[in-house]
Amino acid sequence: MSSSSASVAAPTVSSVTIPAGATTGSFSVRTSRPAARTGASIYATVYGVRKSAAMTVNP
C-alpha cells in the first residue's frame, strides 16, 4: 500500500490480509493538516493489479 502524497495522507500499514472468502478489508490512513485542500490517492496491488482510491484532505 502506498500514497501519491505521503506527507498529507498515507496508509498506516504496508499490507492488509484479506481472509479467504472475504470480499473487503480495512485499514487506517494517517493524515496531516495541509495548507490548502489537497488531493491524494491510496494505492494497493491485488493479484498483480494496481488499484487506487482518491481522497481529498481539507485544512
Q: Domain limits of the chain?
A: 2-57
* Average pLDDT taken over every residue of the chain: 92
The pLDDT score that the predictor gives to residue 10 is 92
Q: What is the pLDDT of residue 43?
A: 93
Instruction: Cell numbers for 40, please give them.
Output: 491524494
Global confidence as pTM: 0.74
Say if residues 15 and 1 touch (Cβ distance below 8 Å): yes
